[in-house]
Amino acid sequence: MPYQFTVSPDFSPDHLSGWYIFNTWLQKQLGEAVHLEMYDCFQTQKAVIESNGIDLIYANPFDAAMLVRKKGFRPLARPVGVSDEAIIAVNAESLIYDVADLSSGIKIAVTDDPDIRLMGMIMLEAGDLNLNNTIIISCDAYILVAKQLLKGNADVGVFLAEAYDGLSNIVKSKLRVIVRSEISVIHHGLMIGPKLAHRKMDILELLVGMKNNDKGQDVLKSLGFRAWDKVEDEEMEFMIDLMDALSV
C-alpha cells in the first residue's frame, strides 16, 4: 500500500502538474511508493484525513490545528517567501473606499478557501459585518469572485492576494483593492502523518536540499517555489494559536 499524499484543494491550477512532478521526484528520492490524490473540495479532503487516509499533505493553515492536535501530524517545511494574505476588493466604480463605508445586508463573494475566508471576514468585522448580517456568494474560483464584482452581483470580493495579483490587467483595471492584509505568519506547509513519521528526517533533508541541484530546482520551479524552509514544531504551534485566536 503506497503512502498517501494530498494537496490543499486551493492549489493554483497552474501548479497542478507541478504537484505530480514533485510527487514523482519524491518517490524516486525516497525509494517509497507515494500516491498523490488531489481533491477538489475541502470537505472531501477532510473526510479522508479524518479516516486516517493521508500520510503527507501540503496543508492549508486552517487545517493545521486539526492535523497536529487531532491527527498527530508534524510540520516539515514551507515554501520560502510565500504566505497567505487576503484582499478585499470592490468594483472600480463602487462608492466604497473603506470597510467602514459598508453596511449590513451587503453581498460578499468568496471561495471556500477556509483561511482566506477567515482573514476576509476579520477585515470586514471592522465595518461591523459578520456572517449573520451579510449574504455570502460562494464561488469555485477567484476569477469567479472577480466576475461577481464586475457584474455588480456582489458588493465586495474576498481574494487570496496571490490570486488577485495574478488576475489579468484588464480585469484588475475594473476592480479596486480596499484592504490588503499584512499578516505574514500564516502560510501553507508540508506536514507529515504518523505512518510516514519514521522518514521525517530523510524527507526534510531532501526538501531543504532541493534548491542545491538542477533537478530539484526544476521541480521547485514547476511548483512556483524558490526553495523549502524547515518549519519547527513551535513555529507551527504558534501559527495554530494564531488561527485559533482569529477563529473566535
Residue 43: CB minimum distance to another protein, A: 27
Residue 116: CB minimum distance to another protein, A: 13
Strand order in the sheet with 135-138: 135-138, 107-110, 156-160, 86-91, 175-180
Inter-residue contact 226 to 220 (CB < 8 Å): yes
Please list, in sequence order, all residues whose beta carbon lies within 8 angstroms of the beta carbon of residue 220, skipping any fewer than 6 positions away. Answer: 210, 211, 226, 227, 228
Residue 42: CB minimum distance to another protein, A: 23
Residue 182: CB minimum distance to another protein, A: 5
Residue 235: CB minimum distance to another protein, A: 12
Triad 145, 151, 156: Cα angle to 5°:
50
Positions that interact with another protein (CB under 8 A): 99-100, 122-123, 125-128, 179-183, 185, 237-238, 241-242, 244-246, 248
Closest CA to 231 of 185, 193, 196: 185
- Between CA 35 and CA 23 the distance in angstroms is 8
Among residues 100 and 141, whose Cβ is nearest to another protein?
100
Residue 248: CB minimum distance to another protein, A: 6
Query: Rounded to the nearest 5°, which phi and psi values hold at 242?
Result: -65, -45
Residue holding cell 488576475? 167
Q: Please report, as a single letter, which amino acid is at residue 211.
A: K
Among residues 121 and 204, whose Cβ is nearest to another protein?
121
Query: Residue 46 corresponds to which cell in the numbers above?
Result: 477532510
